[in-house]
Amino acid sequence: MDLTRFPRRRYTEGPTPLEFLPNFTRALGGPRIWIKRDDMLGLTPGGNKTRKLEFLMADALAQGADTVITCGAPQSNHCRITLAAAVREGLKCRFVIEERVPGSYRVDASGNNFLFRLMGLEALTVVPAGTNMAAAMASEAESLRAAGRRPYVIPGGGSNALGGLGYVACAQELQQQLFERGLRIDRLVVCSGSSGTHGGLVAGFLGNRIDIPILGIGVSRDPADQDPLVLREAQAICDLLGLGLTVPPEAVRSLGDYWRPKYSVPNARMVEAVQLLARTEAILLDPVYTGKAMAGLIDQIRRGAFRPDENVLFLHTGGLPALHVLERELLGESPVSP
C-alpha cells in the first residue's frame, strides 16, 4: 500500500521502539507482553497525535494556512501536540476547549495546560459540555478569515480520514519491525477514543493484510457507541486510500467499562496499572488513556482471556504530561473511585 502520494511532514526520527516487558510479564504470570513506544514519538513529549499531525499539518501547509484551530478537553494531549507542531511549522495556534467535567478547566493547572502557555498558544476559548465543537471551530475560523487570516481546522483528536493515515503508516512500520525480528504477535491492545488510532490501525491492517486481531479499550464509550465510530473512521480511511473494500464490522472490537466513572476521571484499576508498569519497567503511562487501557489488559489477563504463551502487544499512545495533574491520586494518597 503506497502512502507516498499524501504529503507528509516528519516529526519523529525513525520507528518507535518495540520492547519486551519481562518484569511486567512475570508480575502478571503471562502472556508475554510487548509494548510499542508511541509515547516516544516527536513533539514535546510526543504521542499518537504526532503521527496524525504529520499528514494534517502537511495539508494545512499545502493550503497556505497561517493558523491552526483545534479542540479538546481540558488537559488535551491532542491540543498540546497540535500546538507543538504549529510552533515547529511557524504557524499560530488556537483551541476551543470543551469542559466535559464542569469547572475543570484551570488556566494555571500544570500538565498540558502549563505547556499550552509555555509554548505560546495564541488564544483559547472554553465552552460548556455538549457544545457543537465543529461549529464552534468553524465560527472561530470565520472570524479569523474576516480579519484576513488563513485558518485550518483540525477536528478533535485529529481523527478524520487524513489524520487516520498516521496509523496506517504505523501499521506499516510495525509490520516491518515484526518482519525484521521474526516476531509473531497474537493480539494488539490499544486505547480507543476519538477513533483515529484504532480506526487507522484497522484500515492499515486490512490494507496490508496484517492478520493480528486488534482489541480496543474504550476511554469514553462502551462498545455499542464506540465500535460504530471506529468502523466509520476505518471505512473513511480505506476510501481515502482507494482500497475499494468494505471494512467488516467484526474487524472492530472494543471493551467498555474500564473508562468509568467518566472520561478522564481516575479509577482504582487505572492507578494500579500505572503503578505496576512504573514499578516493574519504569515506563510511564497516563491516567486518562493508557492507564485505563492497561487496566483493561490486566483485567483481561486475570480473567484468562489470553493463553500464557501468547505474544500481546500494547500500543503506548503517550499522554505523559497528564501524570502531573493527578500526582497524589497516582501515589494512592488521594481517594479515587473504585
Ligand X SMILES: *Cc1c(COP(=O)(O)O)cnc(C)c1O
Piece of the chain touching ligand X by CB under 6 A; list 5-13, 103-111, 313-321, 324-332: 313-321
125, 126, 129, 133 alpha-carbon torsion, rounded to 10° = 10
d(CA 48, CA 286): 13
Q: Is 20 helix (H, G, I), strand (E, B) or coil?
A: strand
191, 101, 134, 142 alpha-carbon torsion, rounded to 10° = -130
Considering only CA atoms, which of 246, 242, 231, 155 is closest in space to residue 200? 231
Site for ligand X in 144-163 (CB under 6 A): 157, 159
Radius of gyration of the chain (CA): 19
Considering only CA atoms, which of 299, 212, 265, 303 is closest in space to residue 74? 265
Considering only CA atoms, which of 305, 325, 317 is closest in space to residue 31? 305
Our finding on whether 197 is near ligand X (CB under 6 A) is: yes
Piece of the chain touching ligand X by CB under 6 A; list 130-138, 172-180, 196-204, 272-280: 196-204
Instruction: Name the helix (H) or strand (E) containing 118.
Output: helix 112-118
Among 54, 173, 227, 286, binds ligand X (CB under 6 A): 286
Piece of the chain touching ligand X by CB under 6 A; list 25-33, 123-131, 192-200, 240-248: 192-200
Determine which one of 76, 159, 194, 254 is catalytic: 76
Q: Which three cell numbers stand for residue 154?
A: 483540525
76 part of the active site: yes
Among 193, 204, 291, 321, binds ligand X (CB under 6 A): 193
Among 92, 198, 269, 292, binds ligand X (CB under 6 A): 198
Piece of the chain touching ligand X by CB under 6 A; list 25-33, 145-153, 191-199, 261-269: 191-199
Among 25, 48, 70, 112, binds ligand X (CB under 6 A): 48
Considering only CA atoms, which of 174, 192, 196, 194 is closest in space to residue 183? 174
Our finding on whether 289 is near ligand X (CB under 6 A) is: yes
Nearer to ligand X, 113 or 192 (CB): 192
Our finding on whether 207 is near ligand X (CB under 6 A) is: no
Least distance from ligand X to the Cβ atom of residue 297, Å: 14
DSSP-assigned beta bridge partners for residue 70: 95
d(CA 338, CA 286): 18
DSSP-derived secondary structure for 217-271: EESS--HHHHHHHHHHHHHHHHHHHT---PPPGGG--EE-STTTTSTT--BHHHH
Nearer to ligand X, 193 or 266 (CB): 193
Our finding on whether 191 is near ligand X (CB under 6 A) is: yes
Among 50, 105, 317, 321, binds ligand X (CB under 6 A): 317
Among 196, 218, 266, 291, binds ligand X (CB under 6 A): 196
Our finding on whether 266 is near ligand X (CB under 6 A) is: no
Among 140, 319, 325, 326, binds ligand X (CB under 6 A): 319
Our finding on whether 16 is near ligand X (CB under 6 A) is: no
Nearer to ligand X, 180 or 327 (CB): 327
d(CA 177, CA 171): 10
Please give the residue ranges that form the binding site for ligand X (CB under 6 A). 47-48, 77-78, 157, 159, 191-198, 286, 289-290, 317-319
| Active-site residue list | 76
